[in-house]
């Protein structure tokens, strides 16, 4: 299914409309829903070993079933691994949309980094993701999603932007480039392998820095603009495609959020914080691998400038919670107070190493994000979580927000509640979804959304390693 038809014609998918007794019977049976071995795209012995270990030691059989289905979902169903010019090359689709997002592909393989030392083929597969992402960044650093081949034309025929063949969508999102840096840095830190970080990769990093600086908009609006002929306002930008005005204060404009929804105020705070961390990580890699102290200094100086601007313009006084991070600002003093389910979100910042989990401003922000003061926080009878405008209906909770909450929690009871709520959300399918109606998990969007599946597996594995008593 292509993305346009999926969004335009499908809307909210309602799958598995079971009667309550049938749903209970379905869950108790734990049917085989994972794709058969002979149809899997890639298989990792290290991942299969982890699944068996989890299932052997965790008494909750439903969690064992979900872990088996979800952790390997990216490998099972979304990767195409080959070699190009003797180098690993990995194409990763999101699931039900046949395109590779820089963000999603990085996040989808992220949980596998911990297993690379046990599985060389898995290591090569992730190196292939880095290599392919380098070619995409060099093709167009403003694009967020790409096709497998460079000849395919986008289905978004009404987009007014500088579109090239091979690009699926050209929504400028800071986090797209941050995710590529996060994956590269942590691959290097874990393996010590510098092979993917050749001159082409370094050229891509130079382009990332140039793009960030263009979008600080100190000397003008820059080259990027985007408008789409659509009835969905979050899919297009105002003001001739440049978005609403900003005052150049050192922050970086992001015209779209990680949800692919347009920002209101272009200085998107979670993504700017993510950029600070990513730039500093890559400065370390550049110093160690390329011995380029001048470029490393440039990376660190940009990170420092953005960080100082965040402290000055993005921390605001909330009447209930005190000092918190705004979600979006414009440098003129206008702020948007909310949080969205997609990562980076304000809630997820410690997961990305963008803030310390004990930072008082973050803790205040966390309380705000998980409260009725956040317009996209929804609380039902059995679960609660953050949604967003992306699915165009209210009261749709994203499992991704519950997972982010669990991964950033230091409270055992909160982590247990997150796991319990996620167990309730799969509606008998054995998989996580993009979003579900509060109190009605059988009404959900995207039955095949690999990012949420894989990060749920990551969450369960993290709890298994650090707090196994919470799994039952």
Mean pLDDT of 73-102: 97
SS3 211: helix
pTM to 2 decimal places: 0.94
Mean pLDDT of 258-270: 98
Mean pLDDT of 447-472: 97
SS3 336: strand
**Long-range CB pairs of 463-472, under 8 A, 24+ apart, other chains included:** 463/406, 463/415, 463/419, 464/54, 464/57, 464/58, 467/412, 467/415, 468/57, 468/58, 470/412, 470/415, 470/416, 470/419, 471/58, 471/59, 471/60, 471/63, 471/419, 472/58, 472/59, 472/60, 472/63
- Residue (of 190, 236, 46) closest to 122 by Cα position: 46
Confidence of residue 392 (pLDDT cuts 50, 70, 90): confident
As a whole-number percent, the residues of the chain with pLDDT over 90 amount to 93
Give the mean pLDDT of the chain. Answer: 94
Q: Is the pLDDT of residue 11 over 60?
A: no
Q: Which two structure tokens, joined as six digits, stand for 469? A: 């008593």
Q: Is the pLDDT of residue 442 over 50?
A: yes
Mean pLDDT of 277-290: 98
CB 353 within 8 A of CB 277: yes
Cα torsion 322, 324, 326, 327 to 10°: value is: -130
* pLDDT score for 397: 98
How confident is the model over 193-225, as pLDDT tens digits? Answer: 999 999 999 999 999 999 999 999 999 999 999
Q: Is the pLDDT of residue 37 over 70?
A: yes
Mean pLDDT of 93-120: 97
Q: Give the helix/strand (H/E) hosting 107.
A: helix 102-109
How confident is the model over 121-148, as pLDDT tens digits? Answer: 999 999 999 999 999 999 999 999 999 9
How confident is the model over 350-375, as pLDDT tens digits? Answer: 999 999 999 999 999 999 999 999 99
| Cα gap 324→447, rounded to integer Å | 35
How confident is the model over 144-177, as pLDDT tens digits? Answer: 999 999 999 999 999 999 999 999 999 999 999 9
Confidence of residue 10 (pLDDT cuts 50, 70, 90): very low
Q: Is the pLDDT of residue 228 over 50?
A: yes
How confident is the model over 12-31, as pLDDT tens digits? Answer: 444 433 345 555 554 566 89
Q: How many residues does the chain have?
A: 472
Confidence of residue 297 (pLDDT cuts 50, 70, 90): very high
440 dihedral zone (left: phi>0; alpha: psi -120 to 50; beta):
beta
Structural domains in the chain, sorted by start = 174-375 (1.50.10.10)
Q: Is the pLDDT of residue 404 over 90?
A: yes
* pLDDT score for 30: 87
Q: Is the pLDDT of residue 5 over 60?
A: no
DSSP tag of 389: G
**81 phi/psi in degrees, rounded to 5:** -105, 125
* pLDDT score for 307: 98
């Amino acid at each position: 299914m292509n993305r346009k038809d999926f969004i335009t014609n499908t809307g909210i998918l309602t799958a598995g409309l079971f009667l309550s007794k049938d749903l209970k019977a379905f869950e108790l049976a734990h049917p085989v829903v994972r794709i058969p071995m002979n149809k899997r795209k890639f298989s990792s012995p290290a991942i299969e070993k982890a699944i068996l270990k989890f299932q052997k030691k965790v008494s909750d059989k439903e969690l064992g079933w979900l872990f088996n289905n979800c952790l390997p979902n990216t490998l099972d169903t979304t990767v195409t691994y080959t070699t190009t010019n003797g180098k690993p090359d990995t194409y990763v689709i999101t699931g039900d949309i046949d395109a590779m997002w820089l963000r999603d592909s990085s996040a989808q393989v992220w949980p596998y980094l911990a297993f690379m030392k046990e599985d060389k083929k898995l290591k090569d597969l992730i190196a292939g993701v880095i290599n392919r992402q380098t070619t995409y960044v060099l093709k167009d650093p403003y694009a967020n999603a790409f096709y497998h081949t460079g000849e395919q034309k986008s289905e978004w025929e009404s987009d007014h932007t500088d579109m090239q063949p091979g690009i699926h969508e050209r929504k400028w999102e800071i986090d797209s480039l941050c995710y590529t840096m996060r994956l590269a840095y942590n691959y290097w830190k874990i393996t010590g392998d510098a092979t993917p970080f050749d001159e082409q990769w370094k050229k891509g990093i130079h382009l990332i820095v140039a793009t960030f600086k263009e979008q600080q908009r100190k000397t003008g609006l820059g080259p990027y603009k985007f408008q789409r002929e659509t009835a969905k306002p979050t899919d297009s930008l105002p003001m001739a495609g440049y978005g609403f005005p900003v005052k150049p204060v050192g922050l970086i404009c992001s015209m779209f959020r990680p949800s692919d929804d347009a920002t209101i105020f272009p200085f998107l705070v979670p993504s700017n914080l993510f950029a600070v961390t990513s730039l500093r990580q890559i400065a370390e890699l550049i110093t160690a691998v390329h011995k380029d102290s001048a470029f490393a200094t440039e990376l660190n100086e940009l990170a420092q400038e953005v960080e100082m601007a965040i402290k000055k313009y993005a921390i605001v006084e909330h009447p209930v919670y005190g000092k918190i991070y705004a979600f979006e600002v414009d440098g003129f003093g206008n702020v948007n107070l909310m949080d969205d389910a997609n990562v980076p979100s304000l809630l997820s910042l410690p997961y990305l190493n963008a803030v310390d989990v004990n930072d008082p401003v973050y803790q205040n922000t966390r309380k705000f994000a998980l409260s009725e003061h956040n317009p996209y926080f929804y609380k039902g009878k059995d679960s609660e979580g953050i949604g967003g405008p992306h699915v165009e209906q209210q009261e749709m909770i994203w499992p991704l927000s519950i997972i982010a909450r669990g991964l950033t929690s230091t409270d055992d009871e909160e982590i247990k509640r997150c796991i319990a709520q996620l167990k309730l959300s799969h509606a008998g399918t054995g998989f996580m979804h993009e979003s579900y109606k509060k109190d009605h998990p059988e009404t959900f969007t995207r039955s095949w959304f690999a990012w949420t599946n894989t990060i749920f597996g990551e969450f369960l594995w993290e709890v298994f390693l650090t707090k196994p008593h919470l799994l039952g």
